[in-house]
């Protein structure tokens, strides 16, 4: 069984929990998701089953769209409201100040990875260092904030400022870290109080399925979601493709998805040593 599921992850569970539930529902161990959501977060979690797991990296590279909830005036060790409170302060900021801070992050910037994350450093996940109170130099990387806008009205509660924003970001962007950086820009502290992923690539939350409602009819055929040039194999190259051999690039495309019997069997790309040839990029044993 092969295909893709677009699940609306419930709050309070890990992405790994969702994968484990799908393993049980479909009685297969070949299951993988394409981008972790923290337990506090809900929304689009794209899950691949069977040979579609070979597409995890392809789908993970897509940009993502979120709605984030923020509380200015509180800081925690995890950068979200589920963590241990480190500090609280009076933090009243105007709409104009918040808009200015949000707009300043449009484009690329260097973001520090949060200590409570699964990024590995010297073979260990960062959260393992955090749990043992070991200080490490946190890695930084360039991310892109493609769009960011304030939504809803700003609220003030207990001398703190509450607001929500929507953003579209590149792969690898931590919204918790973005919120921390926004708070610093506002000369205060802040935490993420909620997060909804409303889109990942072409997969939107309105087309997602609740975890409890997932069944075989929920599976999406991979041919529906792959945007590469599709070529139905003819007898003269079928054997070559099935064996992963080089083929002539007569298709005027840098990437070609070869199909037989309505199943994708291989994704080919331009051969670096000879642009007139295509070489295998992903082979789908048995098709997908």
Average pLDDT estimate for 267-279: 90
Could you tell me the CATH number of the domain that includes residue 102? 3.30.2350.10
Note whether 176 and 242 are same-domain residues: no
Q: How far apart are CA 228 and CA 237, in angstroms?
A: 19
Note whether 89 and 143 are same-domain residues: yes
Note whether 266 and 183 are same-domain residues: no
Instruction: Tell me, yes or no, whether 193 lies in a domain.
Output: yes
Confidence of residue 35 (pLDDT cuts 50, 70, 90): confident
- Confidence check: pLDDT of 287 > 70: no
Instruction: Tell me, yes or no, whether 9 lies in a domain.
Output: yes
Note whether 103 and 84 are same-domain residues: yes
Average pLDDT estimate for 212-241: 87
| Number of separate domains in the chain | 3
What is residue 239's predicted lDDT score, i.e. its pLDDT?
Answer: 84
State which of 156, 185, 200 marks the end of a domain: 200
Nearest to 182 by CA among 85, 69, 35, 62: 69
- What secondary structure, in 3-state letters, does the chain show? CCEEEEEEECCCCCHHHHHHHHHHHHCCCCEEECCCCCCCEEEEEEEEEHHHHHHHHHHHCCCEEEEEEEEECEEECCCECCCCEEEECCCCCCHHHHHHHHHCCCEEEEEECCCCCCCEECCEEHHHHHHCCCCCCCCEEEEEEEEEEEEEEEEEECCEEEEEEEEEECCCCCHHHHHHHHHHHCCCCEEEEEEEEEEECCEEHHHCEEHHHCCHHHCECHHHCCCCEEEECCHHHHHHHHCCCCEECCCCCCEEEEEECCEEEEEEEEECCEEEEEEEEEECCCCC
Catalytic residue, from 38, 80, 180, 181: name it: 38
Q: For residue range 11-31, what is the model confidence (pLDDT) as tens digits? A: 999 999 999 999 999 999 999
Cβ atoms within 10 Å of 23's Cβ, excluding its own: 14
- Confidence check: pLDDT of 58 > 70: yes
Average pLDDT estimate for 236-261: 88
Q: How far apart are CA 34 and CA 11, in angstroms?
A: 18
Q: For residue range 95-113, what is the model confidence (pLDDT) as tens digits? A: 999 999 999 999 999 999 8
Average pLDDT estimate for 200-218: 94
- Confidence check: pLDDT of 59 > 90: no
- Confidence check: pLDDT of 169 > 80: yes
Nearest to 180 by CA among 193, 170, 168, 169: 193
- Confidence check: pLDDT of 157 > 80: yes
How far from 124 is each of 32, 39, 116, 132, CA to CA, in Å? 21, 21, 12, 12
Note whether 195 and 230 are same-domain residues: no
Note whether 184 and 71 are same-domain residues: yes
Nearest to 55 by CA among 250, 248, 203, 244: 203
State which of 200, 235, 258 marks the end of a domain: 200
Domain that holds residue 105: 64-200
Note whether 27 and 153 are same-domain residues: no
Instruction: Tell me, yes or no, whether 288 lies in a domain.
Output: no
Nearest to 190 by CA among 202, 176, 206: 176
What is residue 31's predicted lDDT score, i.e. its pLDDT?
Answer: 93
Range with the lowest mean pLDDT among 98-107, 188-197, 276-285? 276-285
Note whether 33 and 100 are same-domain residues: no
Q: Ramachandran region of residue 26, left (φ > 0), alpha (ψ -120 to 50) or beta?
A: alpha
Instruction: Tell me, yes or no, whether 16 lies in a domain.
Output: yes
Nearest to 233 by CA among 284, 275, 270: 284
Confidence of residue 181 (pLDDT cuts 50, 70, 90): very high
Q: How far apart are CA 269 and CA 254, in angstroms?
A: 6
Note whether 84 and 170 are same-domain residues: yes
Q: How far apart are CA 185 and CA 19, in angstroms?
A: 37
In contact, 38 and 114? CB cutoff 8 Å: no
Q: What percent of the chain has pLDDT over 70?
A: 99
Residue 134, phi then psi, degrees to nearest 5: -100, 125
- Confidence check: pLDDT of 233 > 90: no
What is residue 22's predicted lDDT score, i.e. its pLDDT?
Answer: 95
Note whether 245 and 146 are same-domain residues: no
Confidence of residue 261 (pLDDT cuts 50, 70, 90): confident
Mean pLDDT of the chain: 91
Note whether 24 and 50 are same-domain residues: yes
Note whether 94 and 185 are same-domain residues: yes
The question of whether 248 is a catalytic residue gets the answer no
What is residue 1's predicted lDDT score, i.e. its pLDDT?
Answer: 78
- Confidence check: pLDDT of 57 > 90: no
Instruction: Tell me, yes or no, whether 243 lies in a domain.
Output: yes
What is residue 209's predicted lDDT score, i.e. its pLDDT?
Answer: 96
Q: Write b or e for each residue in 204-220: b if 16 or more Cβ atoms lie within 10 A of its Cβ, otherwise e.
A: ebeebeebeebeeebbe
């Amino acid at each position: 069984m092969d295909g893709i599921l677009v699940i609306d992850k419930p709050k309070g569970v890990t992405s790994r929990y969702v994968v484990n539930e799908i393993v049980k529902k479909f009685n297969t161990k070949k299951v993988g998701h394409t981008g972790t959501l923290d337990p506090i977060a809900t929304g689009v979690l794209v899950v691949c089953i069977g040979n579609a797991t070979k597409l995890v990296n392809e789908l993970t590279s897509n940009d993502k769209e979120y709605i984030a909830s923020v509380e200015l005036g509180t800081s925690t060790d995890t950068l979200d409201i589920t963590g241990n409170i480190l500090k609280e302060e009076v933090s009243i900021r105007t709409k104009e100040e918040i808009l200015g801070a949000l707009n300043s992050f449009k484009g690329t910037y260097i973001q520090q990875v949060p200590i409570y994350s699964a990024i590995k450093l010297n073979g260990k996940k960062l959260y393992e260092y955090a749990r043992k109170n070991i200080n490490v130099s946190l890695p930084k990387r360039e991310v892109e904030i493609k769009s960011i806008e304030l939504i809803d009205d700003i609220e003030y509660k207990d001398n703190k400022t509450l607001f929500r924003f929507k953003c579209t970001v590149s792969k690898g962007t931590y919204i918790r870290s973005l919120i921390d950086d926004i708070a610093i820009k506002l000369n205060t502290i802040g935490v993420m109080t909620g997060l909804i992923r409303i889109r990942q690539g072409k997969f939107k939350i309105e087309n997602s399925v609740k975890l409890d409602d997932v069944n075989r009819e929920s599976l999406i055929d991979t041919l529906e979601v792959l945007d590469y040039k599709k070529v139905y194999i003819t007898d003269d190259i079928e054997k070559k493709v099935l064996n992963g051999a080089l083929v002539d690039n007569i298709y005027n495309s840098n990437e070609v998805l070869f199909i037989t019997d309505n199943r994708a069997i291989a994704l080919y790309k331009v051969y670096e040593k000879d642009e007139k040839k295509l070489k295998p990029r992903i082979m789908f044993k048995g098709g997908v």
